[in-house]
C-alpha cells in the first residue's frame, strides 16, 4: 500500500483563534505583535489586515501608519504550537498518525483511511469543511509525499489532490519556497532568476549541490519520493487498535453495541492469528462536540473470545453518553498476552482455575461489582498469621507452598487483630465470655491453645496463644491472648478471624 499524506495549512491560526474568543474582532483588521529590541514586530495577521498590505515581520508602527484603525494584540509565546497540538488530537478521528508542522500546519498520514469516507475527495472535503466550520481558515492537499502535499497546500492553485506518482508534474509550476528551503538559498535562486521549480529541477545534481548546497537536493528528493522523510507522530501509534468511523453520528445504545461487535471482530481476528489475547481493552467514542467517552474492561486470562469480551463491554454501554452523536469509535487492546497452546481449548471445560468458564465468570463479576472487590490469595512462607497469605494479581499464579491444613484456620482473617474485653480468664483456658463491638458472646465450646511465636528476625514482641471458640449462637471465632498468662489480669485479648 502506497503512502498518502494530507498537509493542512492554517493561514491565520492565531488570529482565527482570537476571533473565536473575541467576536468583536471578526470585522476589524488586527495583528499579533511581539516586542523585539524595543519595537513591536508583527507575528500574525488576520485576513482583513492582510488585504490592507500588512504582513508578518512588519513593524507594528509602520502597519499602524498604514491602517490607523489597526488593533494590535500582544503575542502569547508558544500558543501556536499548543493550538496545533490540540487540533492534532482532535484530528485523531481521521487518522491515527498526525505530525505537527510548526508553527501553522499539520501533516496527516492517511494511508488506508480515505476509503472509509468514500474516497479522497470526500475525505479532504470533510476535513476542510469541519475545520472551517470551527472558525479556521485552512487550505489542504493530498499527495504521495509530505513535501508535495505541503507545497500544493500552500502554493497550489488548481487541484489539491495529486494523483499517485504525479509529484513532479505538481511541483513544476510552483515557486522554490514550496520546497521548504532556507531563506539564504531562496535569495540565491531569486537573484539567478530561477523563479519556479521547473527552472532548476532538471539541472545536474552536481551543479545544484555546488551552488546551493546539499539541502536543496534533499528537499527535492523528499518531495519527489526518492528519499524517505522521517517524522514523529503527535500521538504514539498503538500496536493493537482498530478504528470504525460512522457516516452519521451515532446516538443510540444499539448503534454503540454494533460498533463494539464489529471492532471486536476485527481486533480478535488479528490477535487470534498472532496467538495473543486481550487482558485489558479500552473502547473510545469521539463525539462531534470534541469530547471523548470511553469504557474499559479487563480479563483474568488472555482472551480473544468475541462473545465473552462483548458481554463485558455490554455491561458498561449504558455509562457512555453519546450526546449529539459519536462519529468515530476505536478499540485498543492496551495489554495483550500470548495464549499458550493449552489455552486454545480453554472453553472446553478444563477443571480448576484453568477452566475458561471460571475465568469468564470472574470477568463478568468484576464488570458488575468492580475488579477491586475480587481478590485471590495464596499461602506465603510465614508462621505469623498476618504474613501467612499474600494477594495474587493473576489467576495463573501458582502457590509456592501448600495451604496449611494441620491446624484450623478462619475463612476470614482480619488485616489487624482487634482488641476485645474478656472476663474470668484462667491459665491455658479461653475466656468464659468476651465483648466485641458492644456485643457480649458467651463461650460454649473451645479448642486450644495453639502457640504461635513471633518471627523475631522480622520484629520483636510477645508470642500469641490462639483459641478456636464457639458462642451461644453457634458462631465461631479465632481469639488469642498476647504473651503469657498474668495473674493480675493485665493480659490483652484479641479477635483475629471468623470461621464459617
Q: Which pLDDT does position 293 carry in this prediction?
A: 93
> At the top level of CATH, which class does the domain 241-367 belong to?
alpha beta
Domain spans of the chain, in order of start:
1-237, 241-367, 412-498
pLDDT number for residue 344: 47
Q: Are 480 and 493 in contact (CB under 8 A)?
A: yes
CA distances from 344 to 131, 304, 339, 497 (A): 48, 10, 7, 41
Helices and strands (H, E) in the chain, number of each type: 13, 19
Q: Give the E-state strand segments of 238-275 in sequence order.
A: 241-250
Q: Can you tell me the distance from the alpha carbon of 122 to that of 482, in angstroms, rounded to the nearest whole number? A: 79
Coil, strand, or helix at residue 240?
coil
CA atoms 73, 28, 106, 267: torsion sign: positive
Best CATH choice for the domain 1-237 from the list 1.10.1280.10, 3.30.70.270, 2.40.30.10, 3.40.50.720: 3.30.70.270
Residue 200, CA atoms < 13 Å, CB-side half-sphere: 27
Q: Which residues contact 191 (CB under 8 A, 6 or more apart)?
A: none
Q: By the 8 A CB rule, do 75 and 33 touch?
A: yes
CB 25 within 8 A of CB 18: yes
Owner of C-alpha cell 488586527: 30
* Residue ranges in the chain modelled with pLDDT below 70: 1, 340-356, 358, 363, 371-372, 394-397, 424-425, 487-490
Neighbours of 491 (CB within 10 A): 17
Beta bridge partners of 283: 295, 331
Q: Are the C-beta atoms of residues 292 and 284 closer than 8 Å to each other? A: yes
Instruction: Using a cut of 0.85, tell me whether the model's pTM lies above it.
Output: no
**Predicted local distance difference test score (pLDDT) of residue 347:** 44
Q: Three-state DSSP class for 478?
A: strand
CA distance 295 to 322: 12
pLDDT tens, 339-395? Answer: 866 554 444 444 555 556 767 777 677 777 776 677 777 888 888 888 887 777 766
The grid coordinates of residue 318 equal 449504558
Kindly give, in sequence order, each residue whose CB lies less than 8 Å from that of residue 249, ignoring residues fewer than 6 positions away. Answer: 287, 288, 322, 324, 325, 326, 327
Q: Which residues pair with 74 in a beta bridge?
A: 33
Residues 6+ apart with CB under 8 A from 335: 278, 279, 280
Assess contact for 365 and 372: CB atoms under 8 A. no
Mapping DSSP to helix (H, G, I), strand (E, B) and coil, where does residue 232 land? Answer: coil
Amino acid at each position: 500500500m502506497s503512502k498518502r499524506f494530507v498537509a493542512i495549512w492554517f493561514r491565520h491560526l492565531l488570529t482565527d483563534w482570537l476571533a473565536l474568543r473575541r467576536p468583536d474582532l471578526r470585522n476589524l483588521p488586527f495583528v499579533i505583535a511581539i516586542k523585539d529590541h524595543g519595537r513591536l514586530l508583527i507575528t500574525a495577521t488576520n485576513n482583513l489586515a492582510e488585504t490592507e498590505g500588512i504582513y508578518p515581520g512588519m513593524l507594528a508602527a509602520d502597519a499602524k501608519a498604514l491602517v490607523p484603525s489597526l488593533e494590535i494584540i500582544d503575542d502569547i509565546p508558544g500558543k501556536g504550537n499548543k493550538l496545533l497540538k490540540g487540533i492534532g488530537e482532535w484530528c485523531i478521528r481521521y487518522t491515527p498518525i498526525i505530525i505537527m508542522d510548526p508553527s501553522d500546519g499539520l501533516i496527516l498520514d492517511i494511508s488506508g483511511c480515505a476509503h472509509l469516507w468514500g474516497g479522497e475527495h470526500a475525505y479532504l472535503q470533510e476535513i476542510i469543511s469541519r475545520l472551517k466550520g470551527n472558525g479556521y481558515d485552512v487550505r489542504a492537499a493530498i499527495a504521495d509525499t509530505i513535501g508535495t502535499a505541503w507545497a500544493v497546500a500552500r502554493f497550489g492553485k488548481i487541484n489539491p489532490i495529486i494523483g499517485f506518482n504525479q509529484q513532479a508534474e505538481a511541483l513544476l509550476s510552483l515557486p522554490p519556497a514550496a520546497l521548504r528551503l532556507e531563506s539564504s538559498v531562496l535569495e540565491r535562486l531569486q537573484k539567478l532568476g530561477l523563479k519556479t521549480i521547473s527552472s532548476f529541477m532538471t539541472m545536474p545534481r552536481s551543479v545544484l549541490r555546488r551552488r546551493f548546497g546539499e539541502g536543496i537536493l534533499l528537499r527535492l528528493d523528499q518531495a519527489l519520493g526518492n528519499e524517505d522523510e522521517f517524522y514523529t507522530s503527535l500521538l504514539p501509534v498503538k500496536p493493537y487498535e482498530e478504528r470504525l468511523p460512522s457516516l452519521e453520528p451515532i446516538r443510540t445504545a444499539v448503534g454503540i453495541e454494533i460498533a463494539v461487535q464489529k471492532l471486536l471482530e476485527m481486533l480478535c481476528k488479528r490477535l487470534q492469528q498472532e496467538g495473543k489475547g486481550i487482558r485489558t481493552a479500552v473502547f473510545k467514542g469521539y463525539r462531534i462536540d470534541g469530547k471523548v467517552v470511553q469504557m474499559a474492561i479487563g480479563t483474568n486470562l488472555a482472551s480473544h473470545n468475541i462473545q465473552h469480551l462483548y458481554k463485558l463491554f455490554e455491561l458498561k454501554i449504558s455509562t457512555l453518553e453519546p450526546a449529539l452523536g459519536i462519529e468515530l469509535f476505536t478499540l485498543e487492546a492496551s495489554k495483550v498476552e500470548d495464549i499458550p497452546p493449552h489455552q486454545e481449548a480453554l472453553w472446553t471445560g478444563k477443571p480448576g482455575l484453568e477452566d475458561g468458564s471460571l475465568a469468564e465468570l470472574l470477568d463478568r463479576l468484576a464488570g458488575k461489582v468492580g475488579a477491586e472487590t475480587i481478590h485471590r490469595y495464596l499461602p506465603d512462607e510465614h508462621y505469623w498469621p498476618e504474613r501467612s497469605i499474600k494477594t495474587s494479581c493473576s489467576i495463573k499464579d501458582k502457590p509456592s507452598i501448600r495451604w496449611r491444613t494441620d491446624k484450623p484456620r478462619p475463612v476470614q482473617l482480619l488485616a489487624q487483630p482487634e482488641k476485645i474485653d474478656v472476663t474470668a480468664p484462667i491459665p491455658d483456658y479461653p475466656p468464659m465470655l468476651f465483648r466485641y463491638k458492644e456485643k457480649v458472646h458467651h463461650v460454649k465450646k473451645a479448642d486450644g491453645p495453639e502457640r504461635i511465636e513471633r518471627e523475631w528476625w522480622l520484629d520483636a514482641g510477645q508470642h500469641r496463644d490462639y483459641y478456636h471458640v464457639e458462642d451461644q449462637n453457634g458462631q465461631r471465632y479465632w481469639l488469642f491472648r498476647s504473651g503469657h498468662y498474668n495473674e493480675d489480669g493485665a493480659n490483652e485479648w484479641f479477635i483475629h478471624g471468623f470461621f464459617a
